[in-house]
């Protein structure tokens, strides 16, 4: 079984680095992502796929003054980095705190991005995160443990809001 990178999104969120501009969270990038959004980071892809509650009326889309947000054919929110002006209106209006505001702090620079197609960069990405947030694992997707597949390399663990809703 090929090893995979497991990212604990819930731990990452709890380990807030403070002011993002002073101490931005590191992030991994996939090479060009095959949709209109251009380069995408692992965290942003994971959050929109697994944390977002996919509101029918999607207030984040309505709040965006730059028409940078829409839904893909699967109903997953996506952001066009070329259009986004980093105003964070979407962060403020989302009733579930889906987005981490630092998505928008450094999306125009590469200094905190690590290319996950390069093994050395992967190690740097692991080392730059707090201990226990990103690690190598020998496992596959396991929804019972809230571990989901993002792509061939990356698994993410996120709180399964559907399972706790109504409790
Ligand atoms: S931060 Fe970007 S995506 Fe969010 S509302 Fe502003 S322009 Fe739109
Ligand atoms: S408002 Fe928040 S939870 Fe609702 S669709 Fe937008 S990002 Fe997802």
Q: pLDDT tens digits, residue range 59-90?
A: 999 999 999 999 999 999 999 888 888 899 99
pLDDT, position 149: 92
Distance (Å, whole) CA 150 – CA 153: 8
Radius of gyration of the chain from its Cα atoms, rounded to whole angstroms: 15
Tens of pLDDT, residues 121-165: 888 888 888 888 899 999 999 988 999 998 888 899 987 666 555
Beta partners for 155? 6, 149
More confident residue, 14 or 37: 14
Nearest residue to 21 (alpha-carbon basis) of 124, 111, 94: 111
Strands 113-115 vs 27-29: parallel, antiparallel or unpaired: parallel
Q: Which residues line ligand 1 (CB under 6 A)?
A: 63-64, 66, 68-69, 79, 84-90, 104
pLDDT, position 90: 95
C-alpha 72 to ligand 1 mean position (Å): 16
Residue 52 Cβ < 6 Å to ligand 2 = yes
Tens of pLDDT, residues 100-126: 777 776 544 566 677 787 888 888 888
Close Cβ partners of 161 (under 8 Å, ≥ 6 residues apart):
51, 53, 96
For the CA of 99, the nearest ligand = 2
pTM of the model as a whole? 0.77
Distance (Å, whole) CA 17 – CA 127: 15
The encoded tokens of residue 70 equal: 């829409």
Phi, psi of 164 (to 5 degrees): -100, -5
Distance (Å, whole) CA 84 – CA 104: 8
């Amino acid at each position: 079984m090929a090893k995979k990178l497991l990212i604990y999104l819930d731990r990452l969120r709890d380990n807030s680095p403070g002011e993002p501009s002073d101490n931005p969270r590191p992030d991994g990038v996939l090479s060009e992502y095959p949709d209109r959004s251009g380069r995408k980071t692992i965290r942003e892809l994971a959050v929109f796929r697994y944390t977002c509650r996919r509101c029918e009326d999607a207030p984040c889309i309505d709040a965006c003054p730059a028409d940078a947000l829409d839904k893909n054919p699967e109903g997953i929110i996506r952001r066009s980095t070329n259009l986004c002006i980093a105003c964070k209106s979407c962060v403020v209006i989302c009733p579930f705190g889906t987005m981490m505001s630092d998505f928008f702090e450094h999306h125009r620079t590469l200094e905190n991005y690590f290319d996950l197609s390069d093994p050395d960069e992967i190690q740097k990405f692991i080392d730059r995160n707090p201990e226990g947030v990103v690690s190598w694992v020998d496992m596959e997707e396991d929804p019972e443990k809230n571990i989901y597949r993002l792509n061939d390399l990356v698994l993410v663990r996120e709180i399964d809001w559907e399972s706790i809703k109504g409790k």
